[in-house]
Amino acid sequence: MGFDVTFHSISNDELKKYVFDVLENPSCAQDVAKEISKGNEKKYEDIFRIYDNALLYWFREKIDSEGNAIAGENFSSTFSLGIAALSGYLHPYWYSRDGALSLCSDERPEIKDFFHGHTMLKNSPLKIFNEGTSYTFKSNYSASGIISNVAKVKEWISSNKEFLEQRFEKDGLDSLFRAIDYCMENDLLFIEATDVVVPIADQSFTDLDNLKAHFLNTI
């Protein structure tokens, strides 16, 4: 099947306001969705669906849509994926086919040390869940934790470019660099996700207006 990878970003303040605060006070979900959608009714409905059918449901019921308890095995395909989808309404994000740091982490285990879990963040209401010990994305339709030290990752990428050129398509590696630079320029956290958008199936769980992709000439 392969992976439709996207590189996302979000700030600590945005995580608190648009995720943690809403989880702790679900009654504000509609107002927050209206704020993010900026008057676009279709986007409002899609954002509110992320809250109501996904993030808030998982937090309240502590199970995923298939009735499985949320733990390390599916945290990346529930909360992490939901946060990545939401971040796509807040910032531009970049596309890479089958290329991601997460997909290189078995060969280069030091990559795993760049990622940190959502449950580890200060005042995170998600700490009640067991997120596991690996914060790269796990499978199709999942997302990573966050990378906060983006400058360190850029340094690693620059030092290992030859290795990455063998594991990324050219466009995907360029997307990674652009996403990392965007995070550095705007003091944002970095997230990797898979199948938040699936171009071949015309499927998206986030804001396509913010998608940056070479094949769409939107870079």
What's the pTM value of the predicted model, to 2 decimals?
0.97
**What is the reported pLDDT for 135?**
97
Res. 147: pLDDT tops 80: yes
CB 121 within 8 A of CB 88: no
Res. 191: pLDDT tops 90: yes
Strand partners, 69: 63
Q: What is the pLDDT of residues 173-183, one digit of tens each?
A: 999 999 999 99
**What is the reported pLDDT for 128?**
97
Res. 1: pLDDT tops 90: no
Q: What is the pLDDT of residues 72-124, one digit of tens each?
A: 999 999 999 999 999 999 999 999 999 999 999 999 999 999 999 999 998 99
**What is the reported pLDDT for 152?**
97
pLDDT band, very low/low/confident/very high, at 22 (cuts 50, 70, 90): very high
Q: What is the pLDDT of residues 37-51, one digit of tens each?
A: 999 999 999 999 999
Strand order in the sheet with 189-194: 142-143, 189-194, 4-10, 93-97, 211-212
Side-chain half-sphere of 10: how many Cα atoms within 13 Å? 27
**What is the reported pLDDT for 8?**
98
Res. 144: pLDDT tops 90: yes
Q: At what angle do helices 170-186 and 150-159 cross, to 10 degrees?
A: 150
Q: How far is CA 138 from the centre of its chain?
A: 12
| Strand bridging mode 189-194 / 4-10 | antiparallel
CB 147 within 8 A of CB 189: yes
